[in-house]
Structure 1
Amino acid sequence: MLDTIFPFVGGVGLFLVGMMLLSDGLVAFAGGALRRGLIRFTGTPFKAFSSGALITALVQSSTATTVTLIGFVSAGLITFSQAIGVVIGASLGSTATGWLVAGLGLQVKLGFYTLPLIGLGALIKLLAHGRWAGIGLALAGFGLLFLGLDMLQDGMRGLAGVFNLARLPVGGFWAHIAVMLIGLAMTALLQSSAAAIATTLTALHTGTINFDQAAAVVVGAAIGTTLTSAIVAIGANVSAKRTALAHILFNLVAGLIAIALLPALLAVIEFLDRYFNTTAGPLSLTTFHTLFILLGVAVFLPQTSRFAQVVERLLPERSDNLVRHLDNSLLSVPAIALEAAQRALEHMALRLFSLYSRILDSPSMPIQPDELPQLHEALQQTFDFVTRTQVASDDKPLSGQRIALLHAIDHLLRMTARLRELRHAPIEFANARYREAVEHSRSMLVAAEGGAAGPPALPGTKSLELVKQEAKALTELAHQVRREILKHAGTDGNTSQALHILDAFRWMDRAARHVSRICHYLKAGRAWSERLNNKEADGGFDLPDEPEQD
């Protein structure tokens, strides 16, 4: 008994570990390129579908694709409508594991021959650094995957003599539903549809179950793989929950279509087997898996926009939350977490600059009582989020972006406090005495409102230089006014008015410095982000010059 159970459980475990190492290694080696590709090639539903399928096939994990995708949507890097195409593509790309197992792993016992890959991969992981250490992980994972398959085959042959799995329900709609639920439970238990499908392929290969039963199990595994997405989306924002729900609905509907049309699909597989003169084995089962996913693609892909609208109605956006993209789930991927914080701060900066512009244009303080407190609270939450984002000390781009964002938050908080001061000590901006200072402030805000916007509207260095020039002009004007007022202090007999004018110019000078530094650090954060995403062109991005003082 133990001679059967131990190899079976060990084989499943080795296969799971191999899949995790293979996926993690490939993502570590080419993760940056894959992330850029996922963002870049999602312009249309077909492009999003193609990128999702290709990336999932490359990293051998639909879970890795969908979890990363949820992070992208949470961070606002891609829209929910684009994410649906990637989700559909990831479901098709997940069939690549079945083709690998059925076409290679079960046809030839490769476990013995891949043993050197495990040793070589471990050695590369220990000696190499950076991306190349990921290659070591991938090689070791590839070897463990086939070693696990060999052990799983041995265990499955023994298991057939202990448990008669052929007694599982067979024939009829409800029998197929029952076996499908077994496949779903297997995937939920193993937390990997690839492992459940590999186990099913092995069972079919060894004659432990028949083809009809294996087909229903595969359908259940395809539905069960969405559980990981659902778990990741718990506590996440609405965009992430929508992405997870879209993944669940697609696989569920595709699976139910497969169960409903199972006799017809099996007839198609039987025809293909006769045509190619093959037997109903693992390759036929993998063909069945791919076929019913393609049926789901044919139903959903042309209706991507309508599907998105349905999901959005099921999970509506409840409020305009400034920090809605800052999910704790993003903290495990620092690059995405900091990008989400960068975009949130750019949005908050625009909101703050707009408030300042409205104050300059109207002396009646046209700000809602809760606007500044909400902005202050959002900045505090963003500060907490950025400080909890752990970045490796040797990762210069991420460290640089993190520091720049913390500086930007500091000056945004100070600027928010400056605007709140006006409620207690208002300035008559319409007074002719302040006309020149107000004009400089308005010109600065026009440039700043362009300079704080996120890509692709982020302008070049000229706009930032204009902001700094206007801020410097305000500083010089404030110093000039201070000298004039102090020179004539006491001669006109209106000391309190002179002090009020001095305070007003000092306030505008300091506000301008904060605006200048907010733009500087947001620009620096964006430059570090571009450097991170274009490491091959590391020298192609100039960071803004440091301000003279903070």
Structure 2
Amino acid sequence: MTTTFQLLGGIGLFLMGMTLLTDGLTAFAGDSLRRALLRFTGTPVKAFASGTLVTLLLQSSAATTITLIGFVSAGLVSFPQALGVVMGASLGTTGTGWLIATLGLKVSLGLYTLPLIGIGAFLKLLGKGRWRTLGMALAGFGMLFVGIDTMQHGMRGMSTLFSLDGLGADDWTTHIVILLIGIVMTIMMQSSTAMVATTLTALNTGAIAFDQAAILVIGAAIGTTMTGVLAAIGGSILARRTVLAHVLFNLSSGIIALLLLPLLLWLIETLQHRLGLETGAIGLAAFHTLFIGIGVLLFLPHAAWFAQRIERLLPDRAPSPVSRLDSSQLQVPELAFGSTRQAMSQIATDLFLPIAAACGQASPGIRIQALALDRQQQLEQALNATQDFLSRIPFAEHPDPFAGQRLDQMHAIDHLFRLHARASTALPPMIANPPAVLEDAFSGLQSMLRQAVAGLSGSNPPENWLPVIKQQASHLAGLRRKARDLTVRETTSGYRTASEALQILDIMRWIERVGHHCWRICRYLQPAQADDAGNITAARDANDVRDAEDLGDTGDLGESLAMPGRSAS
């Protein structure tokens, strides 16, 4: 019973130590490691080196992979480059095995690292800013070695309770059973590092043989991919492709290692004799690095071909504006806000184009309907998904460097909902003798929407097209006032009926409000700017404080049409 308690407690302490160490180092480094990962991914080889280095520093391939998924979903890293990072993360995670084999098992560091746990706890409780995250990392580092010591004590008595030798002869059936044990245990621990540490400890205490330990390590490499599989369920297509690449790479490397096991074991034994390496834990760490390295040599030169095959296995059959929104980006607010801006820009384009087409088809006797029912539902779902994702982006410590972006995007999503309501409402048919100002308004709105689509595509800098959009919105507001005065005169003179007057004013009100929403959406979705302190904010003008007000008058004879759902004011 004592042996079991020590073993389980040691594994738990090790897992907690790894979690604290990874989270602490990730928070302490801030965006530095993420920017380094993004910067050095120009080619598959550079991406591989970047993924290896970042994983060695963070002590977690999962942290690297999650950050990578965010980059890929945001369009900052191409998929072939992502494959290089995935392979680098798999190789980088073998570094922990070397650390344990050379330090953790050679010297009983648990006693000497206890002060680190105390210092780290005090920094976490009493420190401020990055000192608190450094305290987490120190406490995690100390707890990691305390866990290894506890596991060693438990493993010394484990051989009398459990032995893999009882599985029978050393044949393929036995190998497969041991491999499955490694996979299942890794899935249960949710950490290949913990499984490798447990295997190294068992080997060091004589609980298992070297060949059995090697197969368990292969199982750990395969089993660790299940964490990504579970995380990718319900994720974006790019997230699923990245996880599939991780699964196929580790699975292929593991199968190759299992098939070549006698050869690899002979090679490790030869290296031990030639280089003077110690048998046991260090040899197992070398075996782990060796078979992952073989996989890298086989796959990295063909990263582009590998990427094409995965894209064929998981094609993007129905791309949508929210396809790039992935929960992995929430850990990097700058990425998340960039993706929501892209999503809203695409939704805006999907609204502007059919409205512009409807304006071109406006003619007497025909009702104006911009969006079909199925398209209304699709865009409404996209808006709801974007709003939900935006609400889940975490707030940073005060002062929040993303406060300006958050506020701008809240305004943008509000205007998009209002524009969606306008586009989903069918206007009454135009009268037989429409005034010229009405036709000018339709033509002006159509031109404005097309310029907005071109501007949001990013082909022109905002200073070239945003002033034009604003001027066109003001022009439409002026046309509405002109139409109101003209319609009042024509109605009082008996030229038009009251019904025709209200119909004209309703249409002009619709045109002016669509133009207003178009201008404000473009205004809030313009690229952010960095201030002198490096904080990302969007430039503002005097009209922003009057966002809810009309560009024109509010006292029309005809009120706006009743809109379903949200207010369309």
What TM bracket, shorter-length normalisation? 0.7 to 0.9
* 2:517 is equivalent to residue 521 of structure 1: no
Please, which runs of 5 or more residues in structure 1 have no aligned partner?
A: none
| 1:368–1:506 distance in 2 versus 1, CA, 3 Å | closer
Instruction: Tell me how far apart the structure 1 counterparts of residues 376 and 157 of structure 2 sit (CA, whole Å).
Output: 70
Separation of aligned partners in 1, 2:192 and 2:408: 41
CA distance in 2, matches of 1:83, 1:397: 28
- In the TM superposition, residue 251 of structure 1 has moved relative to its aligned partner by 0.6
Closer, same or farther: CA 169–74 of 1 in aligned 2, 3 Å:
farther
Q: Kindly report which structure 2 residues correspond to 1:165-314, keeping only aligned pairs within 5 A, or say none.
A: 165=164, 167=166, 171-314=170-313
Give the aligned partner of residue 543 of structure 1.
539
- Aligned-pair distance for 1:475? 1.8
Amino acid in the other structure paired with 2:321:
L
Aligned match of 2:492: 490
**What is the aligned partner in structure 2 of residue 103 from structure 1?**
102
Assess, with a 3 A threshold, how the Cα gap between structure 1 residues 433 and 225 changes in structure 2: closer, same or farther. same
Deviations 1:70-101, CA, capped at 9 Å, x for gaps: 44445555444433222222111111111211
| Residue correspondence of structure 1 range 321-340 to structure 2 within 5 A | 321-326=320-325, 337-340=336-339
2:382 to 338, 358, 378: 378
Equivalents in 1 of 2:280, 2:482: separation in Å? 88
Matching residue within 512, 523, 530 for 1:509: 512
Deviation per residue, 1:185-216 (Å, 9 max, x gap): 22122111101111111222223322212111
For residue 187 of structure 2, give the secondary structure of its aligned residue in structure 1.
helix
Partner of 1:418: 422
Distance in structure 1 (CA, Å) of the matches to 2:408 and 2:209? 61
Deviates more, 1:401-410 or 1:136-145: 401-410
After superposition, where does 1:450-469 map in structure 2 within 5 Å?
450-453=454-457, 459-469=461-471
Asked if structure 1 preserves the Cα contact closer than 8 Å seen for 2:214 and 2:287, the reply is yes
Is the 2:94–2:289 contact (alpha carbons within 8 Å) kept by the matching residues of 1? yes
Q: Which residue of 2 aligns with 1:124?
A: 123
Contact 1:166/1:208, CA 8 A, preserved across alignment: no
More displaced 10-residue stretch of structure 1: 48-57 or 112-121: 48-57
Q: How many residues align?
A: 540
Matched with 1:448 is 452
The one-letter amino acid paired with 1:19 is M
Instruction: Kindly indicate whether the alpha-carbon contact (under 8 Å) linking 1:169 and 1:179 is maintained by their aligned counterparts in 2.
Output: no
How far apart are 1:150 and its partner, in Å? 1.9
Give me the whole-angstrom Cα distance separating, in 2, the residues matched to 1:110 and 1:311.
44
Cα 1:266–1:426 shift into 2, 3 Å: farther
Alpha-carbon deviation of 1:221? 0.7
Deviation per residue, 1:118-160 (Å, 9 max, x gap): 1111111112333332111111101111121122222222323
Report how far residue 305 of structure 1 moved.
2.6
Distance 1:305 1:493 in 2: 71
Q: Cα gap change, 1:494/1:110 in structure 2, threshold over 3 Å: closer, same or farther?
A: same
Look up the match of 2:566: none
Which position in structure 2 is the counterpart of 1:152? 151
Amino acid at match of 2:462: G
Q: What are structure 2's unaligned runs of at least 5 residues?
A: 549-569
Q: Secondary structure at the match of 1:280?
A: coil
Offset at residue 547 of structure 1 (A): 5.3
| In structure 2, distance between residues paired with 1:446 and 1:100 | 60
What is the aligned partner in structure 2 of residue 405 from structure 1? 409
TM-score by length of 2: 0.85
1:219 to partner: Cα distance: 0.7
Quick one: distance in 2 between partners of 1:495 and 1:189? 77
Change (3 A) 1:492 1:41: farther
Matched AA of 2:386: T
Asked if the contact 2:110–2:149 (Cα under 8 Å) also holds between the matched residues in 1, the reply is yes
> Residues 329, 259 of structure 1: CA spacing in aligned structure 2 closer, same or farther, 3 A cutoff?
same
> Which runs of structure 2 are paired with 1:349-368 in the superposition (5 Å)?
349-363=348-362
CA contact (8 A) 1:363 1:428 kept: no
Please give the secondary structure, in 1, of the residue aligned with 2:492.
coil
Q: Secondary structure at the match of 1:113?
A: helix
Q: Which residue of 2 aligns with 1:475?
A: 477
Amino acid at match of 1:91: S
Give 1:437's match in structure 2, choosing from 434, 441, 463.
441
Identity across matched positions, percent: 49
Which shifted more, 145-154 or 251-260? Answer: 145-154
Give the aligned CA root-mean-square deviation in angstroms.
3.1
Q: Deviations over 1:382-415 (max 9, x none)?
A: 3344345554684624454343323212211211
- 1:14 Cα deviation after fit: 1.1
CA drift at 1:466 = 2.6
| Letter in structure 2 aligned against 1:413 | F
Provide the secondary structure at the position in 2 that maps to 1:470: helix
Letter in 2 for 1:254: S
More helix per residue: 1 or 2?
1
Name the CA distance, whole Å, in 2 between partners of 1:94 and 1:340: 29
In structure 2, what is the equivalent of residue 112 of structure 1? Answer: 111
